[in-house]
Amino acid sequence: MKLLTHNMLTSNIIKGVSNGFPLGIVANKVEVKDVDFNQSFVLKTLSKVDWNALRQAATQVGHGDGLPEELGEDLKENDDVLKKIHNAMLQVEVVEGELVCPETGRKFPISNGIPNMLLLEHELQ
Amino acid sequence: MAASGRPEHQAPPEIFYNETEAAKYTSNTRMIEIQEKLSERALELLALPDDESCYVLDIGCGSGLSGDVLTEADHTWVGIDISSSMLNVAVEREVEGDLILGDMGYGLPFRPGTFDGVISISALQWLCNADKKYHSPAKRMQVFFRTLYAVMRRGSRAVFQLYPENSDQLEMLTQQAMKAGFTGGLVVDFPNSSKAKKIFLCLFCGGQSTALPKGQGTEESSSNTAQMAGRREKRQRTALKSSRNWILEKKERWRRQGRETKPDTQYTGRKRKGHHF
Ligand SMILES: C[S@@+](CC[C@H](N)C(=O)[O-])C[C@H]1O[C@@H](n2cnc3c(N)ncnc32)[C@H](O)[C@@H]1O
């Protein structure tokens, strides 16, 4: 699971959960995979990303170094920072671990890089 | 397909798509080819902006054959599927997309406005089944389409290629989609051929009044054969970018995608100042 995906995931499909974001992360195994850098995609995607959640997730899994506390306006001219953001968003992957619903504490296991978001009968809407 | 041969009648999807079935999605070249063709057509109908990488959701992504077509077109994708065997094959194939184990009938677990487009190849008919005693297809469709609408960017599209068992299923799916706020409807390619006929449910999110794209091999459509741009063709097209042919081809592509397109005239493709389309 990439941290961009984590930034878009919520547990609000569980009955009674309203926001379900951001999900807590427990990472037992993390890998970094090469992904081609695409500046315009990173910039465009940043407008949807919850930056605090991304920075926090990256820090939590040990890849937060060099990520700015806030996104400046001159980002477009700053390829160094953009590449670090690209790395955190798209290259860092949680392979084993779990996601945790911020409202109920319900855990979603991650194995083989795949978060299991299946629900139980009593959790359905 | 004989009714008894339908996968949906044999077992729930997470059981039917076991390791043996999943293995076919890496080894059976005919099957791979068919899934690729369907995905290419779905991507065409999705009408994403040209030359822009988008963030796309693939529902029932399986082993990632449909996702590969998205990768090929430079898009970043997330796939969701109910079968862990299929997803494990996707991991083995080292697909570029990110994968999530989930049941579309339980709702899509993403934040509002996340995706620039959604595709789903050969999966939606599964939603018409009740595989657990507490499953109701109508309820599952309702939850599915409601959450689908929410996770899509306003103005984006979702394109589903599906194998409905009968017209009732199609009607029920379409109705539930409209109830959730979508506009759009069915696009049928080669409606007169029992073999080549393909059904696509094209949904528009955000109420823009877009005409439905034409089906291929229908009377109104000028192209009787699927003209998917292969990689080589694409390169040629870029080289000839300003020529009349390229423009006509592009306009034809836009028409197939249902975009508003000016009619071709004898002036199409002539050099003019400040002209763009
Ligand atoms: C025919 S396969 C197609 C896979 C892939 N889209 C392709 O083109 O190769 C259908 C897929 O739909 C998935 N599926 C069926 N029901 C589902 C559900 N309720 N939620 C998510 N995925 C489902 C199956 O597990 C299977 O991988």
Give the nearest ligand 1 atom to B120 CA: 6
Cα–Cα distance measured from residue A82 to residue A76, given in angstroms and rounded to the nearest whole number = 8
On whether both B30 and B139 belong to a single domain, the answer is yes
On whether both B150 and B22 belong to a single domain, the answer is yes
Range of weakest confidence among B7-16, B57-66, B148-157: B7-16
- How many A from CA of B1 to the centre of ligand 1? 18
> Does residue B213 lie in a domain region?
no
On whether both B88 and B200 belong to a single domain, the answer is yes
pLDDT over 70, % of chain B? 78
DSSP B79: E
For strands B183-189 and B152-162, give the pairing: unpaired
On whether both B197 and B263 belong to a single domain, the answer is no
pLDDT reading at B222 higher than 50: no
Task: Give which of A9, A51, A95 to mutate to test B binding, by max B Cβ within 10 Å.
Answer: A9
On whether both B50 and B131 belong to a single domain, the answer is yes
On whether both B131 and B266 belong to a single domain, the answer is no
On whether both B137 and B254 belong to a single domain, the answer is no
Give buried/exposed letters for B148-163 (b at 16+ CB in 10 A, else e). bbbbbbeebbbbbbbb
On whether both B262 and B169 belong to a single domain, the answer is no
B101 phi/psi in degrees, rounded to 5: -85, 120
Side-chain-facing half-sphere of B207: CA atoms under 13 Å:
3
pLDDT at site B21: 92
How many residue pairs bridge chain A and chain B with CB atoms within 8 Å of each other?
79
Q: Do B106 and A124 touch (CB under 8 A)?
A: yes
> Among residues 42-61 of chain B, which lie with CB inside 8 Å of chain A?
52-53, 55
Cα–Cα distance measured from residue B241 to residue B245, given in angstroms and rounded to the nearest whole number = 9
Confidence of residue B131 (pLDDT cuts 50, 70, 90): confident
pLDDT digits (tens, 9 = 90+) for B28-54: 999 999 999 999 999 999 999 988 999
* Domain range list for chain A: 3-117
Q: Do A45 and B55 touch (CB under 8 A)?
A: yes
On whether both B252 and B163 belong to a single domain, the answer is no
- How many A from CA of A7 to the centre of ligand 1? 24
Q: How far is A73 from chain B (nearest CA, A)?
A: 22
Side-chain-facing half-sphere of B15: CA atoms under 13 Å:
8
User: Closest-CA residue in chain B for A1?
Assistant: B98
Residue numbers in chain A where pLDDT is lower than 50 = none
- How many A from CA of B170 to the centre of ligand 1? 18
Give the nearest ligand 1 atom to B17 CA: 25
Domains of chain B: total: 2
On whether the CB atoms of residues B82 and B150 are closer than 8 A, the answer is no
User: What is the spatial order of strands in the sheet that A107-111 belongs to?
Assistant: A24-32, A92-100, A107-111, A114-115
Q: For the complex shown, is ipTM > 0.85?
A: yes
Q: In this structure, what token pair is assigned to residue B111?
A: 């934040």
User: Closest-CA residue in chain B for A119?
Assistant: B106
On whether the CB atoms of residues A88 and A64 are closer than 8 A, the answer is yes
- How many A from CA of B121 to the centre of ligand 1? 8
| Chain A residues within 8 A of B99 when measuring between CB atoms | 113-114
On whether both B253 and B200 belong to a single domain, the answer is no
B108 phi/psi in degrees, rounded to 5: -95, 120
Note if the pTM is more than 0.95.
no
Domain extent at residue B182: 3-206+235-241
Q: Domain A3-117, what fold? A: N-terminal domain of TfIIb (2.20.25)
On whether both B11 and B129 belong to a single domain, the answer is yes
pLDDT digits (tens, 9 = 90+) for B53-106: 999 999 999 999 999 999 999 999 999 999 999 999 999 999 999 999 999 999
**Which of B83, B125, B136, B143 has most ligand 1 atoms within 8 Å of its beta carbon, as the pocket-test mutant?**
B83
